[in-house]
Amino acid sequence: MRISVIGCGYVGLVTGACLAEAGHEVMCTDIDAARIAQLQAGGVPIYEEHLEEVLVSARKAGRISYTSDATEAIRFGDAIFICVGTPPREDGSADLSAIDHVAQQIAAVAQNSKLIVEKSTVPARTGQELNRALEAYSRGGSRRFAVVSNPEFLREGTAVFDFFHPDRIVVGVDDEAAGTAMQSIYEPILEHKFRCPMHQNGCPAEPKAEFLVTTINSAELIKHASNSFLALKISYANVIADLCEKLDGNVEQVTHAMGLDPRIGTQFLKAGLGFGGFCFPKDIQAFIQLAGSVGVDFDILKAAERVNKERIERFLEKVKRALWVVKGKKVAVLGLAFKANTDDIRFSPAIEVIRRLVEEGAQVHTTDPEAMEKAKKILPGVVFHADPYEAVRETHAALVCTEWSLYRNLDWERAGKLMARRLVLDGRNLYSPKKMADLGFEYFSFGRS
Ligand code: UGA
């Protein structure tokens, strides 16, 4: 099928690349002309594992192209995947102006009927509104736009893997034909008919992904409810970590044992600096807002959000307790991205920690394998190092803020010799407290004595 992708952020690019790799013809567009020029020149504007190789392969096969001309892109596809941003507004609700703008463009220039696939994360009832808007902007013409909600469950950093190995594909539709069309788009994924970049010798046997056809409102709710539930789990684990600190428990032991109960599950119970990124913080705000707008008080989610915001304070309290005076101290921060395997620093706890340390008068030296270029633009007065061992040289403390495996496997014996004081504050619980103590470090993490 011919597919247009509007919006070349990580969701748009991964969706476009993987659908092209799965055999569809894809044309991508974005209002950022520089981004399109970079893609046309063979560049990849974001760091996302396996994305480059999938884009290269799709390009070689002649199945993906890029244009900064939205009209060309809209006219190209039988299905248009809307992957534009829905950033938070002041009150936490999602700003849907980019989606509205795309609807106006589609109505203005499309020459035939199309499937309009809402991939951006949006509050429930956006699909209904999009339907109404498309009808209104089309002024009763003969073209038909079938709106579909197809929420994405892609994690940054493993988005290509997630696209090719989904546990479920959700499509919210108004009519059966739209559901059938979506099934044919995803058929190569469901049937494993693509060249998998991570498994050259064939993908391991796994249960076939469920293809779920729901109403549009349910599909939108599924996305927000899933992200919010995962955020709840993380905040729950973080409160357990606080309790472990007071009651002399070990949060890793507690959450591991909890997670072995299949009703709970082991994932998303890692305590630490809390969740960041452009999905969880904004999605739970938008969900709280949406619930409030229909008279449902989502107290439980508000608490999860509050717990998460307090993680930075908890961490800084530990830093201050350990350093006593922060002003004038040389401090290393390892990690800038909101999590490992991405260069995304949006709502990253590491960035907030650095800002607060700078405000307190610390000299901050930092490093990250992928996110430094983005961070340099927003962190004046901070010194950046490509080599983590250079970042910790002569420092009074090293703070670990992102769980990169590079830091998990750091040679602390070597790092310790370079530091002015052997003090590590671990915001991601990466190391064994005993091993760090054996190496002569003062070591502080979350929920472990
Ligand atoms: C999340 C969801 O996991 C995806 O399913 C969803 O598609 C995506 O949002 C989205 O809405 O687009 P992502 O934001 O990329 O994906 O990252 P996660 O891997 O979910 O991690 C989110 C945050 O939680 C990170 O800051 C991570 O460090 C933190 N986290 C995660 C914890 O603090 N503890 C955990 O146990 C797990």
At residue 325, the pLDDT reads 96
d(CA 442, CA 423): 5
Q: CA 82 → CA 99, 325, 397, 439, distances in Å?
A: 7, 50, 45, 52
**Ligand 1 in contact with 154 (CB < 6 A)?**
yes
Span from the CA of 282 to the centroid of ligand 1 (angstroms): 12
The strand order across the sheet containing 397-400 reads 383-384, 363-367, 330-334, 397-400, 423-426, 442-444
Written as one letter, the residue type at 245 is E
Residue/partner pairs of 176-184 with CB below 8 Å, 24 or more apart: 177/146, 178/115, 178/146, 178/147, 178/148, 179/148, 179/213, 181/1, 181/79, 181/115, 181/146, 182/115, 182/117, 182/148, 182/150, 182/213, 183/211, 184/1
At residue 297, the pLDDT reads 96
At residue 123, the pLDDT reads 87
Residue 46 CA from chain centroid, whole number:
12
At residue 207, the pLDDT reads 82
* Atom of ligand 1 minimally distant from the CA of 157: 15
Q: What residues are labeled active site?
A: 279
**Ligand 1 in contact with 274 (CB < 6 A)?**
yes
Span from the CA of 168 to the centroid of ligand 1 (angstroms): 17
At residue 449, the pLDDT reads 76
In a mutational test of the pocket of ligand 1, which residue from 49, 156, 278, 311 has the highest number of ligand atoms less than 8 Å from its CB? 156
Provide the β-strand partners of residue 148. Answer: 117
**Ligand 1 in contact with 234 (CB < 6 A)?**
yes
At residue 141, the pLDDT reads 78
Residue nearest to atom 19 of ligand 1 (CA): 155
**Ligand 1 in contact with 6 (CB < 6 A)?**
no
Residues (pLDDT < 70) of the chain are none
Residue nearest to atom 10 of ligand 1 (CA): 279
At residue 142, the pLDDT reads 85
**Ligand 1 in contact with 121 (CB < 6 A)?**
yes
Calculate Rg over the CA atoms of the chain: 23
